[in-house]
Amino acid sequence: MLNSAGIHYPRATPEMWPDLIAKSIEGGADVVQTYVFWDRHEPVRGQYYFEGRFDIVKFVKLVRDAGLYLHLRIGPYVCAEWNFGGFPVWLRDIPGIIFRTDNEPFKAEMERFVKKIVDLMREEMLFSWQGGPIIMLQIENEYGNIESSFGQGGKNYVKWAAGMALGLGAGVPWVMCRQADAPGSVINACNGYYCDGFRPNSGNKPSLWTEDWDGWYASWGGRLPHRPVEDLAFAVARFFQRGGSFQNYYMYFGGTNFGRTSGGPFYITSYDYDAPIDEFGLKSQPKWGHLKDLHGAIKLCERALVSSDSVHYLKLGPLQEAHIYNGTEGMCSAFVANVDQHRSATVHFLGKAYTIPPWSVSILPDCRNIVFNTAKVVAQTSIKSTEPSQMPYGAMTLSQSRAYWNI
């Protein structure tokens, strides 16, 4: 059972990376997930840049050295509320190009960059079979949302992208998120606020939640988005209760859209995302702490979850249910859910009575004792305040300000 922390390396400074990774470990993450940003790695066709905030090799090695896994989402279209979706601007000027369809000029450029990243990771010994942290890769991004608009060209493109990716010999699984027709061994995955009802397109594929939206991005003049941690914890517990194996918080740390990287109409510089770690690298409480407690409870169930051949389902009431996992050596773990949004419920489960708050899941690692309930927050709550900064030398005239800042 893997919980993943979404962290985009360019949305933090390299000096922040070790602390962000450490806070992810402390919070119970097993994996770090990031996109790869083509426009910044190849600002001019054929000229690559992997320095500063874009030193992806350094970032991946820090994840490795910390003992975490990594899910690398190459795309190379990433969306991510990033300028041009991560495509370099020069791409649009290639004669005859049409983005993200069965178009030879586009496919040639896409394959060249994806191969560049896979080769770089292999050369640096960063795949899991080499002793590195990378356990999964991603090709394309939410293409299923627009595939039908390209007709047969879209279907052909999906098959080509999957085949191209597999042909690179990376030696780890490839994922296509929001792609119900992901072909062959490529794993289709869920993105959304709730993914407990998601099922992959083959019984031979695991259930992956590549984007668990724990907040949202913000626009100029709009309200700052907020998702209560009780609802977020409920969604995660339900996902694992119903057979999930990997979920990633999008975002665990959102960070900052430095420079002109922010995409979309009127997206603000901050990419805080109401994440468990805020834009400045500080823990957002109680979100960070409550999720840490959740991850700990899930880990207590892990042996039963992974060793159970099947799950036993019990209907406990009109909107109440339990899933029981009987593992090897007599292990038993259970999730008891009340999906009534308004009323608590008292249920009888394996000879005991339990009162479950509305819209919540109780986790019982031994099938007897509740160690965590998603609606009961015991983590500390922190309130942050901001104050106006002071000018370096008091009030300045316009000419003094220009002189000070050398403008």
Q: Which residues are catalytic?
A: 142, 211
Q: Strand 320-326 relative to strand 187-192: parallel, antiparallel, unpaired?
A: unpaired
Other C-beta atoms within 10 Å of 90: how many? 14
Q: Strand 360-364 relative to strand 372-373: parallel, antiparallel, unpaired?
A: antiparallel
Q: 311: closest CA among 245, 241, 360, 363?
A: 241
Q: 349: closest CA among 325, 374, 314, 308?
A: 314
Residue 394, strand partner residues = 392
Other C-beta atoms within 10 Å of 268: how many? 17
CA angle 121, 43, 95 (to 5 degrees): 105
Question: Cα–Cα distance between 256 and 223 in angstroms, integer?
Answer: 17
Residue 217, strand partner residues = none
Please give the DSSP secondary-structure letter assigned to residue 256: B
Give the pair of three-digit tokens for residue 179.
């792609």
Cβ-defined contacts of 339-348 (< 8 Å, 24+): 345/316, 345/317, 345/319, 345/320, 347/316, 347/317, 347/320, 347/322, 348/316
Give the pair of three-digit tokens for residue 152.
């047969």
Q: 196: closest CA among 244, 125, 140?
A: 244
Over the range 202-214, which residues count as b (16 or more CB within 10 Å of their CB) and which as e?
A: eeebebbbbbbbb
Question: Cα–Cα distance between 245 and 232 in angstroms, integer?
Answer: 17
Question: Radius of gyration of the chain from Cα atoms?
Answer: 23
